[in-house]
Amino acid sequence: MPSVCLYFQVHQPCRLRRYSFFDVGQTHDYEDEAENRRILDRVVEKCYLPAGALLLELIQEYGGAFRVSFSLSGVILDQLEQHRPDVLELFQRLSATGCVEFLNETDSHSLAFLFSQREFRAQVSHHRDRIRSLFGQEGLTFRHTELIYSDALALAVEKMGYRTILAEGTEKILGRRSPNLVYRPVGCKKLKLLLRNYRLSDDVAFRFSDRNWAEYPLTAAKYAHWLHRIRREEAVINLFMDYETFGEHQWRETGIFEFLKALPGEILRHPDFRFQTPAEVGDKGGHDAASCPPIECPNFISWADEERDTTAWLGNAMQQDAAGKLYALEAAVLRRKDEGLLRTWRMLQTSDHMYYMCTKWFSDGDVHRYFNPYESPYEAYINYMNIIDDLSRQIRTKKGEKS
């Protein structure tokens, strides 16, 4: 029976205030609290509240046949706990239906695995504890920041006890194979790998409102028909996208909420199709890891840009320098045993800070500009490095006084 696996990433970074050379050693206030709150409130009203209410309505309407999954970064959890407990309560209501799975990731939405195995494990464990505490769920599925994935990551995740991991269904690892199957990472014995069908996912996330697209307008009936053509008994159609697709990236006026409301009924109209969460897909009969085809991924891939690699965050000298300087502080931060400094250091690990320094202004330039609060990648780099300079001075001083 073919399955549809619908997963939403929920994340909003903590944006940094403009921090000049003259602020170094003078003030340790790095975050732009007003801007963070403004953007959070906007996204809540445009996406999180209306989309969450609609999903709850759909789960109730279809009696559990409609199922979805979320990965909420620790960064967005912090913001919701502090400013919008109403949204957090809505996610808890969704969890209580038994039809929603909450995934685990790095708590700081970071690139830690690429720089520090110790820090990676600490962040994942912390996020796992938070999901258990907030939603009463034991994490079974892992999703790395920006769907970054490799064989080495899969092995580390399996050792942490996860059953399923998500990645991008790029031709770099698939070749001519289908993304609509359950795979086993090379070297793993129990871990199952689900690959994003990026064409079908991006039809909704990016092309939905594009009037120049040959398939515009996209209706739920048309989209369900495309899915129904994937008829293999063991097929799993993984539709992974940002939650902000609904109302923020695709505005309400585009009809995106009407599309979402109609989609479950159109998909379930075919009696052979069903919705499942990633953990359910991994556990369903016939998908024991030994019987899943192995797939090799020696180099890191992601769901970003045409290259589907890590160059959106580490593709130029500025990004590499910033990341290197940041993670070089790890040992000193841990020795200080200062929760405030540790929290700040982890806030600065959020991948968005490196993304703002990206210089890929070609095929993917519009996407990078849309998400970038800085005038240029160089401005983002200078601002960030001033903060790193000040943080490193704090770490070196005995009690965090000005050096």
DSSP letter at 45?
A: I
> Which residue type occupies 369?
R
Nearest CA among 72, 59, 74, 78 for reference residue 9: 72
Q: What amino acid positions are annotated as catalytic residues?
A: 146
**Kind and range of the H or E element at 238?**
strand 236-242
Task: Name residues whose C-beta falls within 8 Å of residue 120's C-beta, 6 or more positions apart in sequence.
Answer: 106, 112, 113, 156
SS (H, E, C) 326-359: HHCCHHHHHHHCCHHHHHHHHHCCEHHHHHCCCC
**Kind and range of the H or E element at 314?**
helix 311-314
What DSSP letter does each residue of 351-395 carry, written as one string? HHHHHTT----STTHHHHHHT--SSSHHHHHHHHHHHHHHHHHHH
Backbone region of residue 341 per phi and psi (left: phi > 0; alpha: psi in -120 to 50; beta: other values): alpha
| Helix-, strand-, coil-residue percentages of the chain, each rounded to 5 | 50, 15, 40
Nearest CA among 138, 198, 128 for reference residue 167: 198
